[in-house]
Amino acid sequence: MLVFEFKAYGKSNQFKAVGEAIRTAKFVRNSCLRYWMDNKKVGKNDLNKYCAVLARDFPFADELNSMARQASAERAWSSISRFYDNCQKNIPGKKGYPQFQRDCRSVEYKTSGWKLADDRKSINFTDKKGIGRLKLKGTRDLHFYQISQIKRVRLVKRADGVYVQFCVDVDRKENTEPSGTTIGLDVGLKEYYTDSNGTTVENPRFLIKGEKVLKRSGRRVSRKVRGSRNRGKARQILGKRHLKISRQRKDHAVKLARCVISSNDVVVYEDLRIKNMVKNHCLAKSINDASWYQFRVWLEYFGKVFEKITVAVNPQYTSQECSSCREIVKKTLSTRTHACKCGCVLDRDENAAKNILSRGLGTVGHTGTFGLEPSNSLGELVSTVVGEILPQQTGS
């Protein structure tokens, strides 16, 4: 499934209609969640049927396309099923009980309620919300895909305008020549990552660099009168500043992950628990700014696209263990050089990257769950799942 995004252009009344459609989708989602809370043994089909009841009782809900209402009900069921899965897995801590949505910024249509123009440069929403025809501007060309391949259309509201997303049902595959190299990655705050070959990538620190502008924009918002038009303008400017930083992080993660995957056949990285790491209030801002989780997600995505092997290993003692003699050498976070009595002297992060690679190769070589065959050195495409521990992912 590929997602193509285009900027939408229209009149002010059309964008007001988009906002009304988004609020209706939020109402349907929260109503389905309340229906599940008040009734036992409610399933996904029951929530879809409840959408018809909402359309009958509320005229503004009937104005939204029927499939868009079902998509909102599916969002509610997604949070419910995730809660059930967490309870069955007995994960530690909170299980993620479904919450009512307060700030919704998108509405999703399925295969009806919209019509794409023949030149693929505009889209017309045909439900009763009155959105009408919106012009599209983007770098992607939808002429390569059939209309039947577009399974979902989303209207997303951001600080700099409204965007239209097309979810296209197509498998993306890219063939590359095997490089015959393997690599282990150790992410950090000083350097974004250090690989097992000693190569380092600088940490861009987008939030730290833009923090001065963000604080100034935040002060401007606080000085304005609540509910005034000037405060709304100041909030929009502040939102654009945050949006720029988030886009910088994503662009950096995408380009870096693609480069790493295309250059190596096996990529091994740490299975970090970011949720637990940010509990340290001294490092929480820097950890979130580094966006390690997003980098890992794109590593696994490009691993599937390029048919490369990606492995997540347990990061325990990777910084303390000597990559040469496997002896444990205790060191604090301020100690940046690994010096072992066996004579091995390395940078702390490079030593950890070598240990990560060693563990990953040991997993690939002994479990036999990565589809390695004598006739195919790379084997079948297998990628570890984000948030799961390695023994559960590599079960035969």
What residue spans of 264-369 are helical by DSSP H?
Answer: 274-277, 284-290, 292-305, 348-367
Which residues fall within 8 angstroms of residue 141, CB to CB, at 6 or more apart? 120
Whether the pLDDT of residue 310 is over 80: the answer is: yes
- Give the long-range contacts of residues 144-151, CB within 8 A, separation 24 or more: 145/170, 147/116, 150/111, 150/116, 151/1, 151/110, 151/111
Q: Which of 107, 88, 221 is nearest to 153 (CA)?
A: 107
When pLDDT is cut at 50, 70 and 90, the band that residue 84 belongs to is very high
Q: What does the alpha-carbon distance between residue 170 and residue 184 come to, in Å, rounded to a whole number?
A: 31
Q: What does the alpha-carbon distance between residue 184 and residue 352 come to, in Å, rounded to a whole number?
A: 9
Q: Which of 10, 238, 202 is nearest to 122 (CA)?
A: 10
The residue with greater pLDDT, 56 or 333, is 56
Distances (CA, A) of 108 to 72, 104, 116: 7, 11, 15
Q: What does the alpha-carbon distance between residue 68 and residue 155 come to, in Å, rounded to a whole number?
A: 11
The whole-number pLDDT of residue 364 equals 63
Dihedral over Cα of 151, 155, 159, 161: its sign: positive
How confident is the model over 212-258, as pLDDT tens digits?
999 999 999 999 999 899 999 999 999 999 999 999 999 999 999 99
Q: What does the alpha-carbon distance between residue 18 and residue 206 come to, in Å, rounded to a whole number?
A: 32
When pLDDT is cut at 50, 70 and 90, the band that residue 384 belongs to is very low
The whole-number pLDDT of residue 318 equals 86
Q: What does the alpha-carbon distance between residue 304 and residue 174 come to, in Å, rounded to a whole number?
A: 9
Q: Return the structure tokens found at 306.
A: 């390029």
The whole-number pLDDT of residue 105 equals 93
Q: What does the alpha-carbon distance between residue 205 and residue 245 come to, in Å, rounded to a whole number?
A: 10
Q: Which of 248, 250, 224, 253 is nearest to 236 (CA)?
A: 224
When pLDDT is cut at 50, 70 and 90, the band that residue 300 belongs to is very high
How confident is the model over 323-378, as pLDDT tens digits?
888 888 888 888 888 888 888 888 888 888 998 998 888 876 543 333 333 333 33
Q: Which of 353, 38, 15, 313 is nearest to 155 (CA)?
A: 15
Instruction: Determine which of 69-78, 148-157, 375-384 has the lowest per-residue pLDDT on average.
Output: 375-384
Q: What does the alpha-carbon distance between residue 267 and residue 181 come to, in Å, rounded to a whole number?
A: 9
Q: What does the alpha-carbon distance between residue 38 and residue 333 come to, in Å, rounded to a whole number?
A: 50
**Backbone angles phi and psi of 131, in degrees to 5:** -70, -45
Strand-pairing partners, residue 185, are 195
The whole-number pLDDT of residue 253 equals 94
- Percent residues over pLDDT 70 in the chain: 92
Q: What does the alpha-carbon distance between residue 110 and residue 283 come to, in Å, rounded to a whole number?
A: 42
Q: Side chain identity at 246, as an amino acid letter?
A: S
Q: What is the average per-residue pLDDT within 313-319?
A: 87
Q: In this structure, are strands 182-187 and 266-270 parallel, antiparallel, or unpaired?
A: parallel
Cα torsion 275, 280, 283, 286 to 10°: value is 20
Q: Report angle CA 169, 147, 160 to the nearest 5 degrees.
A: 80
Which H or E run contains 370? none
For residues 36 and 80, is the Cβ–Cβ distance under 8 A? yes
Q: What does the alpha-carbon distance between residue 115 and residue 123 come to, in Å, rounded to a whole number?
A: 6
When pLDDT is cut at 50, 70 and 90, the band that residue 387 belongs to is very low
- Give strand ranges (E) for 219-285: 266-270
Q: Return the structure tokens found at 178.
A: 């095997």
Average pLDDT, the chain: 87
Q: What is the average per-residue pLDDT within 28-32?
A: 95
For residues 378 and 297, is the Cβ–Cβ distance under 8 A? no
How confident is the model over 90-149, as pLDDT tens digits?
888 888 899 999 999 999 999 899 999 998 999 999 999 999 999 999 988 888 889 999
Which residues fall within 8 angstroms of residue 351, CB to CB, at 6 or more apart? 319, 322, 323, 338, 344
Q: What does the alpha-carbon distance between residue 356 and residue 354 come to, in Å, rounded to a whole number?
A: 5
Instruction: Determine which of 168-182, 309-323, 376-390 has the lowest per-residue pLDDT on average.
Output: 376-390
For residues 288 and 278, is the Cβ–Cβ distance under 8 A? yes
